[in-house]
């Protein structure tokens, strides 16, 4: 669900107020300021999602190109095998075909390595709840093992490795489109550990709070992993956010800051 779809709902929710007595000027100004800040926050979060969407489209196009190239290479390989069986093993044609096949394998291995390295570079942006999902954990482990292959082994099991990379991209995209809530253990500045609920807005932002509202954090992804900052002043708002995210009732308004990376 894209966060931009929540904005019309908030606007419609203000219609019943039109029939009531106009609020005091100060209250009206405060309301307008709150709504404007909320809209600005949602727009910033939307920008984060749009940036990920652009990266996803690039990777998707790259994946489709590799899949087509694999199909073409498979056809070339089958054609080469057929010609090999019916031709002179010592002929120049066979030698040329063998060279083309070897070149195709090398190119596929090179392109696949580029894709795998690109995914590995994005791993720090994946929050722990995503990385710890059994399916994702297995795919990340396979990806890391593939990256350890020496140069002379990089053409091995290319189809299996490509499928793993594509499946990992699909799981990342699925997480990016959702607002997810996970229980986590986190420590405060005094090194006391708390069990808390953390709400993730895809790969853009996270807000967490413990049960009694005495400890709250705000998280953002960075090049070396997710960073969480203690923000106990936001505990009441984050509690309301957790309640809304875990309830089947209509969404409610929660005013929270967008922390810059």
pLDDT digits (tens, 9 = 90+) for 10-27: 444 444 444 455 556 677
Higher pLDDT, 236 or 96: 236
CB atoms within 10 A of CB 247: 10
The answer to whether 11 and 167 have CB atoms below 8 angstroms apart is no
Q: Residue 29: is it exposed, middle or buried by C-beta count within 10 angstroms (0-12/13-18/19+)?
A: exposed
- Residues in CB range of 6: below 8 A, 6 or more apart: 42, 251
Per DSSP, 207 falls in state E
Per-residue pLDDT band at 158 (split at 50, 70, 90): confident
- Total residues belonging to the chain: 261
Mean of per-residue pLDDT scores for the chain? 82
User: What's the rounded Cα separation, in Å, for the pair 138 and 33?
Assistant: 47
> Is the per-residue pLDDT at 71 higher than 70?
yes
Please state the pTM of the whole predicted model: 0.59
**What would the mean pLDDT of 101-127 be, rounded to a whole number?**
87
In the prediction, which pLDDT does 236 show? 94
């Amino acid at each position: 669900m894209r966060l931009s779809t929540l904005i019309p709902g908030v606007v419609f929710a203000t219609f019943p107020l039109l029939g009531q007595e106009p609020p005091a000027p100060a209250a009206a100004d405060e309301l307008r300021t709150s709504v404007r800040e909320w809209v600005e926050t949602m727009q910033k979060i939307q920008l984060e999602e749009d940036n990920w969407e652009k990266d996803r489209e690039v990777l998707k196009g790259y994946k489709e190109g590799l899949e087509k190239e694999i199909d073409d290479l498979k056809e070339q390989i089958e054609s080469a095998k057929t010609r090999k069986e019916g031709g002179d093993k010592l002929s120049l044609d066979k030698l040329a075909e063998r060279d083309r096949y070897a070149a195709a394998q090398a190119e596929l291995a090179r392109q696949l390595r580029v894709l795998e390295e690109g995914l590995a570079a994005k791993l720090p942006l994946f929050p722990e709840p995503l990385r710890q999902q059994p399916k994702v954990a297995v795919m990340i482990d396979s990806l890391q093992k593939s990256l350890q292959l020496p140069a002379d082994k990089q053409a091995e099991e290319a189809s299996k490795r490509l499928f793993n990379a594509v499946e990992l991209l699909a799981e990342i995209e699925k997480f990016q489109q959702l607002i997810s809530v996970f229980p986590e253990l986190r420590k405060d500045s005094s090194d006391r550990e708390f069990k808390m609920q953390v709400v993730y807005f895809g790969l853009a932002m996270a807000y967490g709070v413990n049960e009694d509202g005495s400890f709250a954090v705000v998280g953002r992804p960075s090049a070396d992993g997710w960073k969480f900052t203690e923000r106990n002043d936001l505990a009441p708002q984050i509690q309301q956010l957790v309640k809304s995210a875990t309830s089947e009732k209509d969404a409610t308004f929660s005013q929270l800051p967008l922390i810059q990376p």
